[in-house]
Amino acid sequence: MKKVTLSVVALTMTMMSFGQTQCKSLTKDSIQCKNTTKTEVLLCHVHNPNHVTSSDKVTVICSGTTKKNTKCKNKTKDTSGLCHNHRKD
Ligand SMILES: [Zn+2]
Ligand SMILES: [Zn+2]
């Protein structure tokens, strides 16, 4: 029985890794990137210049104003357009 269980685990592992390839790009230290990718270009989301995810949000300058009544210069990705200093949560 033990042997059967092991082969099932091995099969599951193979299926899980199917279609995932290690990124072919190199890091700053000239070692191969450890991220896996499913793209044909074999580049992970970090190294693929065409990578776009739905979670990518546009960074905008905060629309709030500071105590000195000048425009806040903080950048934010929040949909409210307000930085962490100006959001009320
Ligand atoms: Zn990479
Ligand atoms: Zn702000």
Distance 75 CA to ligand 2 centre (A): 8
Integer angstrom CA distances of residue 66 from 17, 30, 49, 77: 51, 44, 36, 18
pLDDT in tens, 43-59: 998 899 888 766 667 88
Distance 65 CA to ligand 2 centre (A): 6
Distance 79 CA to ligand 1 centre (A): 29
Q: State the ligand closest to the CA atom of 74.
A: 2
pLDDT in tens, 5-38: 777 777 666 555 567 899 999 998 999 999 999 8
Distance 73 CA to ligand 2 centre (A): 7
Integer angstrom CA distances of residue 69 from 13, 50, 73: 59, 40, 12
User: What pLDDT does residue 19 have?
Assistant: 73
User: What pLDDT does residue 15 have?
Assistant: 56
